[in-house]
């Protein structure tokens, strides 16, 4: 029996190994390669959702671990799922919590069953497992769910990485099973097809607010959540291959490479990407988790990666660092005190069109909230515009030139 899938993915152009695709989710169409801004606790920090729409962000991330601890599943269910709770009608991807729990280091205890740890909020003892992670992600109602995995440190020995990937494979199977059960039970709060459009209204009768419209569901899709598998194996290429094989055997809607950018040397990351990406199913989206700088994104696209997320544009925006086409610019520097130029003279974002480096430096020096907001906006614009340029160049067959020019400009001296 042929059943509809929760997402579709079509590669529409190739240039070398780089590919441009169309990922259709139940909440709209996403052109790939795509950068997904990170919305850890239900907010892309210092950014209004209207601004994300202005930047044409089609998909953002939410963190299962953080949202599970606070505000908790009950509050989000009562709010009608994460989309409604935060007022974002477009696509959401949630991670599984595996990475955050791993980051707790000595504060967590891992067993076959799952991971026990103390909440950073109130010190209570909590337990996260594949089943719990799938339940939380069903309550969040995200459009793309990630399996619960165990992340081995970048410098894990062969034996450590081997044990870890075995656990990840068994957890992936349990994630798949629980996920399927929850879909059948109808626990997915973001399901499309069963909700009524009027449910999406924001505001109250006394204070009406324009409702963000949910995109119409493509007839090709089920309206259910999609589930992505995660490849682990630290820096060991044969373990990475084994992890990929075992993940593909279970079968997922997309495949992610996890456990990179976690303490290993940069060349090691590229070795793993080199080895694994060409072996990933060509007809499914490939997602490189937690990476990276603009130059990393371009290089990974050249290897055939389709999806990225990273906290860099938002985190650096709050600490006074701008990403520009000519490299990083620190607004704290005294040299910008009277500089009337925009952050990036080739950027068309609303911040660069309106404000000078001098003003942005002033905001930073006086500790004004707006400083971080404006810098974050520009940084997100830079990442999203870069990916737009990448997509266009792949479609028009001049990605190698785009890549060369981009890197040359970035590394050229001067501002």
Least distance (Å) between residue 226 CB and Zn ion: 33
Nearer to Zn ion, 162 or 378 (CB): 378
Q: Which is nearer to Zn ion, 76 or 352 (CB)?
A: 352
Nearer residue to Zn ion within complex by CB, 277 or 352: 352
Report residue 307 as tokens: 């999806």
Smallest separation, CB 326 to Zn ion (Å): 12
Residue 14 has phi, psi (to 5 degrees) of -130, 145
Q: Least separation, in Å, of the C-beta of 380 and Zn ion?
A: 9
Site residues for Zn ion, window 315-354 (CB under 5 A)? 347, 349, 351-352
| CA atoms lying within 13 Å on the CB side of residue 367 | 0
Residue of 117, 233, 234, 114 whose CA lies nearest to 175: 114
- Residues numbered 64 to 103 that lie near Zn ion (CB under 5 A) are none
Nearest by Cα to 157 from 236, 104, 230, 103: 236
Token look-up 């055939």 returns 304
Cis bond upstream, residue 292 (ω within 30)? yes
Give ∠ CA 109-112-117 in degrees, rounded to 5.
Answer: 25
56 is catalytic: no
Beta carbons of 191 and 82 less than 8 angstroms apart: no
Rule CB under 5 A: say whether 165 interacts with Zn ion: no
Both tokens of residue 33?
A: 């390669």
Find all residues with CB under 8 Å of 356, minimum gap 6, and list them.
Answer: 339, 340, 341, 342
Q: CB-wise, 85 or 382, nearer to Zn ion?
A: 382
Q: Is 199 annotated as catalytic?
A: no
Strand partners, 22: 10, 31
Contacts of 227 (CB under 8 A, 6+ apart): 144, 145, 146, 147, 175, 176, 179, 252, 253
Q: How far is the CB of 221 from Zn ion (least distance, A)?
A: 35
Give the binding-site size for Zn ion (rule: CB under 5 A): 6
Binding mask 353-392 for Zn ion (x = CB under 5 A): -------------------------x--x-----------
Q: Which segments within 265-306 are labelled E, that is strand?
A: 286-288
Closest approach of Zn ion to the CB of residue 33, in Å: 20
Q: Which of residues 21-50 bind Zn ion (CB under 5 A)?
A: none
> Catalytic: which of 15, 95, 296, 344?
95
Catalytic one among 143, 149, 188, 309?
309
Q: What is the bridge-based pairing of β-strands 34-39 and 307-310?
A: parallel
Question: Which residue number, 146 or 352, has a Cβ lying nearer to Zn ion?
Answer: 352
Residue 203 token pair: 């505001």
Tell the smallest beta-carbon distance from residue 322 to Zn ion (Å).
8
> Toward Zn ion, which CB reaches closer, 235 or 375?
375
Q: What whole-number distance in Å separates Cα of residue 415 and Cα of residue 410?
A: 10
Give residues in contact with Zn ion (CB under 5 A): 347, 349, 351-352, 378, 381
Catalytic residue annotation: 95, 309
């Amino acid at each position: 029996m042929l059943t509809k899938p929760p997402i579709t993915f079509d590669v529409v152009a190739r240039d070398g190994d780089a590919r441009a695709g169309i990922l259709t989710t139940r909440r709209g169409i996403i052109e790939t390669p795509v950068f997904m801004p990170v919305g850890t606790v239900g907010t892309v920090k210092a950014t209004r959702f209207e601004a994300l729409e202005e930047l044409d962000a089609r998909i953002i991330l939410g963190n299962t671990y953080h949202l599970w601890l606070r505000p908790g599943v009950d509050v989000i269910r009562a709010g009608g799922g994460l989309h409604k709770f935060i007022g974002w009608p477009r696509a959401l991807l949630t991670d599984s919590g595996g990475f955050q729990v791993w980051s707790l280091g000595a504060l967590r205890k891992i067993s076959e069953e799952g991971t026990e740890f103390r909440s950073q909020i109130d010190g209570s003892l909590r337990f996260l497992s594949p089943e719990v992670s799938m339940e939380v992600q069903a309550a969040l109602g995200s459009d793309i769910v990630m399996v619960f995995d165990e992340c081995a440190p970048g410098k894990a020995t062969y034996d450590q990485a081997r044990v870890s990937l075995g656990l990840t494979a068994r957890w992936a199977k349990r994630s798949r099973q629980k996920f399927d059960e929850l879909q059948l039970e109808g626990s997915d709060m973001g399901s499309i097809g069963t909700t009524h459009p009027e449910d999406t209204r924001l505001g109250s009768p006394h204070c009406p607010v324009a409702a963000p419209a949910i995109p119409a569901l493509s007839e090709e899709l089920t309206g259910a959540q999609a589930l992505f598998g995660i490849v682990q194996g630290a820096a060991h290429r044969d373990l990475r291959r084994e992890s990929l094989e075992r993940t593909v055997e279970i079968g997922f809607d997309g495949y992610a490479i996890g456990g990179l950018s976690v303490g290993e040397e940069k060349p090691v990351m590229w070795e793993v990407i080199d080895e694994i990406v060409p072996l990933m199913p060509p007809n499914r989206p490939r997602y490189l988790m937690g990476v990276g700088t603009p130059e990393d994104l371009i290089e990974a696209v050249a290897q055939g990666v389709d999806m990225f997320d990273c906290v860099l544009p938002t985190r650096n925006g709050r600490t006074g660092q701008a990403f520009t086409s000519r490299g990083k610019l620190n607004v704290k520097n005294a040299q910008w005190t009277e500089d009337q130029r925009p952050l990036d003279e080739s950027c068309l974002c609303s911040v660069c069109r309106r404000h000078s480096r001098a003003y942005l430096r002033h905001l930073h020096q006086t500790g004004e909230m707006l400083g971080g907001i404006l810098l974050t906006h520009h940084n997100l614009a830079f990442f999203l515009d870069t990916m737009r340029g990448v997509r266009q160049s792949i479609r028009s067959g001049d990605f190698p030139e785009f890549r060369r020019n981009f890197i040359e400009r970035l590394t050229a001296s001067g501002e």
